[in-house]
A and B are shown apart, each in its own frame.
Chain A
Amino acid sequence: MSVTVDPVEERSQALLKPREGGPQSGRRWLLPVMLTLISLIWLFPLLLALVNSFRDYAFTAKNGYVSWGGFTFDNYTNAWQQADFGLHFMNSAIITIPAVILTLFLSCCVAFVVARFSYRFNLALLGFFLAANLLPPQALLIPVYRMFRAIEVPLWISDSGTLLNSFVGLILVNMAFQIGFCAFVLSNYMKALPKELYESAVIDGASVSRQFFQITLPLCRPALAALAVLQTTWIYNEFFWATVLLQQGDKFPVTSSLNNLRGQFFTDNNLVAAGSMIVAIPTLVIFFVLQRHFVAGLTLGATKG
């Protein structure tokens, strides 16, 4: 029983590879032209932000946006200082890294039990987690907010003294919402692993935890990589909980701190563009470098097999 075929690899390869055959009709030029047009329209807002993030405000104010020139790097340095991105990137890391690791670990635990043992409540258990992932977070805000405000934690966990306004609280909420999706994807993945794998391990007297750490987890590496990329993007992008549960501006992760670049009465759009680009860099890097995993992670959840 070999398990060398990697479903994630296979899937992303299949997805990125053009289908055999191609268009049949006589107007072969039409499709590429249409697609090029669509692609350019889709790229346009980002390109506009990119170009203007390098332009001087005084220049665009004088010549308007439909002009060319006034290039400078100042917006980036100004945006970095004004929005205090150093601090906020640190906050994002403090929130995202533990949240992703813990989410994946706990999801693996659930998925392993669901896939490895045939308990009667398995399906219900999976539904319990997956449904949680789909509920609108705003609908749960009031109780979560009130609970967090009431729960006191030692100062070394949170300097606010409660879970509200603490990184721990935010990490917990992110985990609670993401475990469902990951457990679902992972359990499908683990179910595809042949049961025979565990047989020899059991005969050798390996405990459940050894089977988990030494057989299942290593085999799930491709799925874990895909989910890690996806979850990092999602939790980094997460805006709602960070905005409502963290009330001190200096605790905001990057996404929520963008507002610092907007003045009360006046907004320098070029500065905002530079700030947006800075915020987008981590996700864009992920997108271009780890695209395969991102696509695989996203589609693993939606389609089975």
Chain B
Amino acid sequence: MASKRKYRGIDQLSTRDKVVVSFMVIVPTLIVLWLVWLPAIGSVLLSFTNWDGIGPLSGIKSVGLQNYRDIATIYPPFWPAIQHNLIWLAVMFLVATPLGMLFAVLVDRGVAGTRFYQTSIYLPVVLSLALIGFIWQLIYSRDQGLINAITGGTTDWYGDPNVNLWAALVAASWRHAGYIMLLYLAGLKGVDPSLREAAKIDGASESQTFFKVVFPVMRPINIIVLVVTFIESLRAFDLVWVINKGRNGLELISTLVTQNVVGEASRIGFGSALATIMLLISSVLVFVYLRIAMKED
């Protein structure tokens, strides 16, 4: 009885404690509200207006869906950007992520030297994508690059709009596969070993064990990996920005938004409509992620 009262008692707060607790929540909440949620709402609202970014905010007029219509019809880089984002996603989803998962499965089998293999594969994860753009320049550069030095070709891998997206994707996959390997490896270590034992006793082959036993129990981590892949593809920015600021074959929605704000022509309505599209897509992903990540609560 006594312990019960004590236990209930630990949530009792004095007035001073209440002030402390409030501050502990309010300060971080205000920062995030101010710099993430308010801007998110701002982007959505601005996308329905004709604000040119110069006049006062009071001069704003609502233009309905005009910005969206304009983007789709008279803004040439929009459809290429959508296409590039989809290609980016497809490559990450179909190549880089499965590759990372495969690496995790191979590394997880625990042959001698695992530490070395693992370290080499996820080494690129600590580098920024901007830096990766510079490192791969040694391979892709037209006059001094390794590929052209070996093949004798003259392709400008970062400049030629027919190939630069693919060149960027190879570099991005290089990092992404390591990242996914790391996440997946953590998941694999968490699989109950007795499951594998049971499958082995039942005479399942190694690939059967993986696909029929291990893979299904890893459902939560599979979904997390999937969502991470989607979000990273949507956010892709640094790499193409250091290559050529997202022009000439490397347009992505993220770079278009940025160009519309910091570039010469600041078209706030356009930029906001593009931003809203990004927010819309990501909100679905965020929702899925939150459901998985917070499920146990």
Q: How far is the CB of A126 from chain B (nearest CB, A)?
A: 7
Whether A280 contacts B131 by the Cβ 8 Å rule is yes
The yes or no answer to B117 lying at the interface (CB within 8 A) is yes
The yes or no answer to B195 lying at the interface (CB within 8 A) is no
Distance in angstroms from A244 CB to nearest chain B CB is 5
Q: Are A208 and B13 within 8 A (Cβ)?
A: yes
Residues of B within 8 A of A142 (CB): 39, 42-43, 46, 257, 260-261, 268, 271-272, 275
A71 at the A/B interface (Cβ < 8 Å)? no
A288, B135: Cα distance in complex, Å: 19
Q: Are A139 and B279 CB-contacts (below 8 A) given A35-B117, A129-B32, A195-B7?
A: yes
Task: Check A160 for interface membership: any CB of B closer than 8 A.
Answer: no
Residue among A15, A49, A172 making CB contact with B138, cutoff 8 Å: A49
Contacts of B38 in A (CB 8 A): 143
B265: Cβ under 8 A from any A Cβ = no
Chain A hits for B1, CB < 8 A = none
Per-position 1/0 for B94-111, Cβ under 8 A of A: 000000000100111111
B224, CB-defined interface residue at 8 Å = yes
Contact of A45 among B135, B149, B183, B278 (CB under 8 A): B135
Q: How far is the CB of A43 from chain B (nearest CB, A)?
A: 5
Q: How far is the CB of A283 from chain B (nearest CB, A)?
A: 4
Q: Cβ of A101: which chain B residues have Cβ within 8 Å of it? A: none
Chain B residues near A183: list those with CB within 8 A: 28
Residues of A within 8 A of B190 (CB): 303, 305
The smallest beta-carbon distance between B52 and chain A, in angstroms, is: 12
CB of A45 within 8 A of CB of B14, answer: no
Residue of A nearest to B235 (CB): A136
Number of interface residues of A (CB under 8 A): 115
Interface of B is mostly: helix
Q: Which of A16, A66, A139 is the one whose CB lies under 8 Å from B275?
A: A139
- Whether B130 pairs with A199 at a CB distance below 8 angstroms is no
Contacts of A256 in B (CB 8 A): 130
A-B contact count (CB 8 A): 326
| A276 on interface, CB distance cutoff 8 Å | yes
Asked if residues B39 and A243 are in contact (CB atoms below 8 Å), the reply is no
Contact A128 B32 (CB under 8 A): yes
Contact A208:B20 (CB < 8 A) given known A130-B290, A176-B34, A255-B131: yes
Judging by beta carbons under 8 Å apart, are A66 and B31 in contact?
Answer: no
Q: Are A139 and B257 in contact (CB under 8 A)?
A: yes
- B35 at the binding interface (Cβ < 8 Å): yes
Asked if B238 is at the interface of the complex by the 8 Å CB criterion, the answer is yes
Q: Does B262 contact A (CB under 8 A)?
A: yes
At the interface, yes or no: A233 with Cβ under 8 Å from chain B? yes
Chain A neighbourhood of B53, CB < 8 A: 146
B120 in the interface (beta carbon within 8 A): yes
Determine the residue in chain A with the shortest Cβ distance to B200. A24
Query: Is A134 within 8 A of B43, CB to CB?
Result: no
Contact B278–A48 (Cβ < 8 Å): no
Given contacts A127-B294, A294-B126, contact A272 B110 (CB under 8 A): no
Most buried by A among B126, B130, B185, B242: B126
Tell me the complex Cα distance, A208–B261, Å. 45
Chain A residues with CB under 8 Å of chain B are: 11, 14-16, 18-25, 28, 31-32, 34-36, 38-40, 42-43, 45-46, 48-49, 52, 60-61, 64-66, 106-107, 109-110, 112-113, 117-118, 123, 125-132, 134-147, 172-173, 175-177, 179-180, 183-184, 195, 198-199, 202-203, 207-209, 212, 233, 236-240, 243-244, 255-256, 258-259, 267, 269, 272-273, 275-276, 279-280, 283-284, 286-287, 291, 294-295, 298-299, 302-305
Q: List 24 A-B contacts (CB under 8 A).
A: A16-B118, A18-B114, A23-B111, A32-B112, A35-B106, A38-B106, A42-B124, A45-B139, A106-B27, A109-B24, A113-B21, A128-B29, A130-B289, A134-B231, A135-B286, A136-B235, A138-B255, A142-B268, A144-B39, A172-B31, A176-B34, A256-B130, A267-B141, A303-B187
Q: Contacts A109-B23, A179-B31 given; 4 further ones with Cβ under 8 A? A: A31-B111, A66-B146, A127-B294, A140-B43
